[in-house]
Amino acid sequence: MKINDNFERMVPNYLFADVARKTNDFAKAHPDSEIIRLGIGDVTLPLAGVVVDAMKKGCEELRFKESFRGYPEYEGYDFARQAVADYYRSFGVKIDADEVFISDGAKSDCGNIGDIFSQDNTVLIPDPVYPVYVDANIMSGRNIIYAPSSKDDHFLAMPDRKVKADIIYICSPNNPTGAAYNHAQLKAWVDYALENNAVILYDAAYEAFIQDDLPRSIFAVEGARECAIELCSLSKTAGFTGVRCGYTVIPKELSRGGHRLHDLWYRRQATKFNGVSWAVQCGAAAVFSEEGQRQCLENISYYRQNAKIISDTLDELGIYYTGGKNSPYIWFECPNKMDSWEFFDYLLQNAGVVGTPGAGFGKCGKNYFRMTSFNSHEKTLEAVKRIKKLFI
Amino acid sequence: MKINDNFERMVPNYLFADVARKTNDFAKAHPDSEIIRLGIGDVTLPLAGVVVDAMKKGCEELRFKESFRGYPEYEGYDFARQAVADYYRSFGVKIDADEVFISDGAKSDCGNIGDIFSQDNTVLIPDPVYPVYVDANIMSGRNIIYAPSSKDDHFLAMPDRKVKADIIYICSPNNPTGAAYNHAQLKAWVDYALENNAVILYDAAYEAFIQDDLPRSIFAVEGARECAIELCSLSKTAGFTGVRCGYTVIPKELSRGGHRLHDLWYRRQATKFNGVSWAVQCGAAAVFSEEGQRQCLENISYYRQNAKIISDTLDELGIYYTGGKNSPYIWFECPNKMDSWEFFDYLLQNAGVVGTPGAGFGKCGKNYFRMTSFNSHEKTLEAVKRIKKLFI
């Protein structure tokens, strides 16, 4: 019996464990200081009431023989798939309900989608980025190359025509940088993918935070239906981190090697997945109802105000940053050329504020720092007051 | 870009689609006949009230900031893992709570567990069996060999020491045959696995149906902790087919190639999974409460009575069968040496009763037929009345 020895090539990412350890050590040494966590990657506001109501109703239906639901469809209930398609239409993108696969979250799909591709593909991953893309592809033994980004391109990596890739991950608005592509930039990626017969895996998990006139979906771009799969999540859209629901959109015209990728993904899900909980799908559909959208956007608006508190402070301090407007994340250059762990220690020791060192997201993050908008107004205001005191 | 061309080796299984098509054709041609479906593979009784209450309470908690839950642990909440460990203790098997990984269902785990093993392993799969084991391993390009079973071994395939395998799937009580291994038989498999340095993937999805003095878990067998992973589901235990929850148990001492499989699976889940819905885990814990077990066993008892109605009839008719006692499935030899599709047509045309042809579960099923206990008492009684009329 041989284990998958690609696991030996996976470098354990202790980013959040190290952050927690250092924070706890500081708390122990300074029992009277109030630590403020601006590194939170999880939502903190509760679910919209209309979503809770729908989920409870779904649960209650399982109590009675007449309304009981057994195995769901692998690809999701029609009503949930239609709700997603209607949501896309609300921002001007046309997809068909039967192109939508409901899942237990974008992270599962981001990893599992690899099953439909050969190991023998070169994967292009932006740097910095959500570490899951890298780990999932190391695990399956694929060759990984990086698309570096920096201050020069405002952390929006662009395609390099000298580089040949088969699978391209794009996350926009990006985690951790908060930077979001405009239409022309996404078009350049679509053109590059089409030229290379590549497939873009487009992670739109933060699309609900977009305020500017930027694409909410890769399918807003001409040609994307021939080269892109979109993965999205209700985690940040509707606070579903603990409810677990996402969706993946595969256009029916997207084919490679004589196969529709839609068919391959259906076959993969039919073999290794058994659909999403009835009550969760009821809740997901409620998210996309008129009242659901109104209530969910109230939460997003609260987080946006926090993001603005942080980015206004950085503007005032003259610190370079990306994100904050179309994203819950703010990514800024560490002052005084500090590296990201040095700055982490400095900020914790001198201001009692915790963030996330950029080095945890890739080489290009080594002098950058991520803060998030998921704490309360009060704590966020207090944190920026302390930061200002340090740097003005 | 290359697709995973193993998909081309996957033979679409049209079993249930063909059953549905033939049934619909018959219904159209005979609009007045009442068709009885004894092929149902899904539960039909509603959830236990105590489970619905727990899930609704879990949902309600997400309405308020104070009780809101975000990202769950990848491996499940401690209370859910402990509930599973306590459940095992109730039938005399000792596992630790931190050996339990809560998931969205045994089917996901059955497929995804392959990620921790090299492609370069030989997989031994009983015939007949649940088709998902075969498909998941074709998809990942592994060499598959079969352990045939027949009337001679009462459809309990036993290890052949001339055959070398690395990964061994065992399903007991088996789907589709309903046959369940005794302690000595499982011990033979454990010994074989240890001799071959192989790993057993033990699917215990139907363990709650066991009534005789048979092992409810592979871990009731000495040596299993050094060679087995157990996959289980609440789908049949508690009617969770639409709720979606299962669990996988990996003993901490189980190592291969210098790695604890527990660590590899944790890493796999941390990379490609984000845990199970809060409300679902609340419901799962309620299943294993005293009242939950009482209510769930009422449903199982109902199904058992149906199984007895069918197996008593087969006894009366002198037809050979397995299952029915420790399983919701009854697997019988088609009368008059008919093949399974021939018998399907005969039974539908002459009795209006639908079952599942054994050929759909492997070569060894070609003269066998599966019936299930998931219809109502009334329909099951009516079905056997019609069958008796045909064969007495």
For β-strands B228-233 and B246-249, DSSP reports them as antiparallel
pLDDT at residue B16 tops 90: no
End-to-end CA distance of chain B: 61
pTM, two decimal places: 0.97
CA A39 to chain CA centroid, Å, is 15
Chain B, nearest residue to A116 by Cα:
B4
pLDDT at residue B13 tops 80: no
Smallest Cβ distance to A56: which of B60, B112, B264?
Answer: B60
CA A272 to chain CA centroid, Å, is 23
Instruction: Compute the mean pLDDT over every residue in chain A, rounded to the nearest whole number.
Output: 97
pLDDT at residue A14 tops 90: no
The encoded tokens of residue B351 equal: 């009795």
Of B69, B132, B78, the closest CA to residue B101 belongs to B78
pLDDT at residue B386 tops 80: yes
Contacts 24+ apart (CB under 8 A), A304-308: A304/A209, A304/A211, A304/A328, A304/A373, A305/A373, A305/A377, A306/A373, A306/A374, A306/A375, A306/A376, A306/A377, A306/A380, A307/A373
Collect all residues with Cβ–Cβ distance below 8 Å to A96 and sequence separation of at least 6.
A85, A252
pLDDT of res. A214: 98
Q: Which residues of B touch A269 (CB under 8 A)?
A: none
What's the whole-number mean pLDDT along residues B52-68? 98
Q: Which residues of B touch A280 (CB under 8 A)?
A: 277, 279-280
Q: Test A43 with B132 for CB contact under 8 angstroms.
A: no
Chain A, nearest residue to B194 by Cα:
A1
* 8 A C-beta contact, residue B265 and residue A139: no
Size of the A and B interface in Cβ pairs below 8 Å: 243
Distances (CA, A) of A96 to A10, A76, A250: 38, 14, 10
Rounded to a whole number of angstroms, the distance from the CA of B335 to the nearest CA of chain A is 32
Max alpha carbon distance in chain A (Å)? 67
Q: Which residues of B touch A328 (CB under 8 A)?
A: none
Q: Give start and end residues of each alpha helix (H) in chain B.
A: 15-29, 49-61, 78-90, 106-112, 132-139, 183-196, 261-272, 278-287, 290-317, 340-351, 377-391
Residues forming a β-bridge with B217: none
What's the whole-number mean pLDDT along residues B196-219? 98
Q: Which residues of A touch B276 (CB under 8 A)?
A: 104, 244
Q: Test A52 with B44 for CB contact under 8 angstroms.
A: no
Q: What homologous superfamily is domain B5-46+292-391 in, according to CATH?
A: Aspartate Aminotransferase, domain 1 (3.90.1150.10)
Collect all residues with Cβ–Cβ distance below 8 Å to A193 and sequence separation of at least 6.
A168, A199, A200, A227, A228
Least confident of A38-52, B8-22, B94-108: B8-22
Q: Can you tell me the distance from the alpha carbon of A168 to that of A156, in angstroms, rounded to the nearest whole number?
A: 14
Give residue-wise pLDDT tens across range A108-164: 999 999 999 999 999 999 999 989 999 999 999 999 999 999 999 999 999 999 999
Smallest Cβ distance to B60: which of A52, A257, A272?
Answer: A52
Distances (CA, A) of B263 to B218, B252, B254, B336, B350: 20, 9, 10, 53, 55
pLDDT band at B148 (very low <50, low <70, confident <90, very high): very high
Q: Is B6 exposed, middle or buried (0-12, 13-18, 19+ CB in 10 A)?
A: middle
A73 DSSP 8-state letter:
P
pLDDT at residue B12 tops 90: no
The encoded tokens of residue B173 equal: 């009580």
Give residue-wise pLDDT tens across range A25-82: 999 999 999 999 999 999 999 999 999 999 999 999 999 999 999 999 999 999 999 9
Q: Test A1 with B259 for CB contact under 8 angstroms.
A: no
Residues forming a β-bridge with B3: A117
pLDDT at residue B230 tops 80: yes
Collect all residues with Cβ–Cβ distance below 8 Å to B83 and sequence separation of at least 6.
B284, B285, B287, B288, B289
Q: Which fold has domain A13-42+292-391?
A: Aspartate Aminotransferase, domain 1 (3.90.1150)
Give residue-wise pLDDT tens across range A320-336: 999 999 999 999 999 99
Chain B, nearest residue to A1 by Cα:
B166
The encoded tokens of residue A135 equal: 């780990």
Cis peptide upstream of residue B176 (ω within 30 degrees of 0): yes
Rounded to a whole number of angstroms, the distance from the CA of B155 to the nearest CA of chain A is 24
Rounded to a whole number of angstroms, the distance from the CA of B295 to the nearest CA of chain A is 12
Rounded to a whole number of angstroms, the distance from the CA of B281 to the nearest CA of chain A is 10
Smallest Cβ distance to B275: which of A5, A119, A244?
Answer: A244
Cis peptide upstream of residue A128 (ω within 30 degrees of 0): yes
DSSP states of B333-383: EPGGG--HHHHHHHHHHHH-EE-EEGGGG-GGGTTEEEEES-S-HHHHHHH
What's the whole-number mean pLDDT along residues A258-270? 97
Q: Can you tell me the distance from the alpha carbon of A196 to that of B308, in angstroms, rounded to the nearest whole number?
A: 61
pLDDT band at A165 (very low <50, low <70, confident <90, very high): very high
pLDDT at residue A11 tops 90: no
- CATH code of the region A49-288: 3.40.640.10
What residues does CATH 3.40.640.10 cover in chain B? Answer: 49-288
Residue B95 amino acid letter? I
pLDDT at residue A12 tops 90: no
The encoded tokens of residue A114 equal: 């690899």
Rounded to a whole number of angstroms, the distance from the CA of B136 to the nearest CA of chain A is 6
Secondary structure element (H or E) that encloses residue B103, with its range: strand B100-103
What residues does CATH 3.90.1150.10 cover in chain B? Answer: 5-46+292-391
Q: Test B3 with A117 for CB contact under 8 angstroms.
A: yes
DSSP states of A298-328: HHHHHHHHHHHHHHHHHHHHT--EEESSSSS
Give residue-wise pLDDT tens across range B295-350: 999 999 999 999 999 999 999 999 999 999 999 999 999 999 999 999 999 999 99
pLDDT of res. B206: 98
Q: Is B59 exposed, middle or buried (0-12, 13-18, 19+ CB in 10 A)?
A: buried
Rounded to a whole number of angstroms, the distance from the CA of B231 to the nearest CA of chain A is 14
pLDDT band at B213 (very low <50, low <70, confident <90, very high): very high
Chain A, nearest residue to B258 by Cα:
A3
Smallest Cβ distance to A166: which of B1, B45, B139?
Answer: B1
CA B79 to chain CA centroid, Å, is 24
Q: Which residues of A touch B195 (CB under 8 A)?
A: none
Q: Give start and end residues of each alpha helix (H) in chain A.
A: 15-29, 49-61, 78-90, 106-112, 132-139, 183-196, 261-272, 278-287, 290-317, 340-351, 377-391
The encoded tokens of residue A366 equal: 């080594």
Helix axes of B49-61 and B290-317: crossing angle, nearest 10 degrees: 140
Q: Can you tell me the distance from the alpha carbon of A142 to that of B146, in angstroms, rounded to the nearest whole number?
A: 30
Q: Can you tell me the distance from the alpha carbon of B263 to that of A382, in angstroms, rounded to the nearest whole number?
A: 40
CA angle B318, B320, B326 (to 5 degrees): 115
Q: Which residues of A touch B261 (CB under 8 A)?
A: 3
Q: Can you tell me the distance from the alpha carbon of B232 to that of B105, in angstroms, rounded to the nearest whole number?
A: 8
* 8 A C-beta contact, residue B188 and residue B221: no
Distances (CA, A) of A336 to A343, A368, A369, A392: 9, 11, 13, 13
pLDDT band at B209 (very low <50, low <70, confident <90, very high): very high
Give residue-wise pLDDT tens across range B165-196: 999 999 999 999 999 999 999 999 999 999 99
What residues does CATH 3.90.1150.10 cover in chain A? Answer: 13-42+292-391
Q: Can you tell me the distance from the alpha carbon of B90 to that of B287, in angstroms, rounded to the nearest whole number?
A: 13
Q: Which residues of A touch B110 (CB under 8 A)?
A: 272
Q: Test B3 with A264 for CB contact under 8 angstroms.
A: yes
Rounded to a whole number of angstroms, the distance from the CA of A190 to the nearest CA of chain B is 15
pLDDT band at B285 (very low <50, low <70, confident <90, very high): very high
Q: Which residues of A touch B70 (CB under 8 A)?
A: 42-44, 239, 241-242
Q: Test A3 with B117 for CB contact under 8 angstroms.
A: yes
Collect all residues with Cβ–Cβ distance below 8 Å to A301 and sequence separation of at least 6.
none
Distances (CA, A) of B5 to A180, B139, B174: 35, 8, 31
CA B63 to chain CA centroid, Å, is 35
Distances (CA, A) of A273 to A104, A118, A119, A203, A245: 10, 20, 21, 21, 14
Smallest Cβ distance to B277: which of A196, A261, A277?
Answer: A277
Distances (CA, A) of B228 to B91, B144, B169: 18, 19, 10
* 8 A C-beta contact, residue A113 and residue A266: no
Rounded to a whole number of angstroms, the distance from the CA of B301 to the nearest CA of chain A is 16
Collect all residues with Cβ–Cβ distance below 8 Å to A220 and sequence separation of at least 6.
A91, A92, A93, A183, A186
Q: Test A2 with B279 for CB contact under 8 angstroms.
A: no
Distances (CA, A) of B349 to A342, B345, B353, B355, B385: 78, 6, 8, 12, 15
Chain A, nearest residue to B69 by Cα:
A242
What's the whole-number mean pLDDT along residues B64-77? 97
Q: Which residues of A touch B64 (CB under 8 A)?
A: 46
pLDDT of res. A23: 96
Smallest Cβ distance to A5: which of B42, B118, B197?
Answer: B118
Q: Give start and end residues of each alpha helix (H) in A202-241.
A: none
Residue to test with chain B: of A4, A11, A168, A276, most B Cβ within 10 A: A4
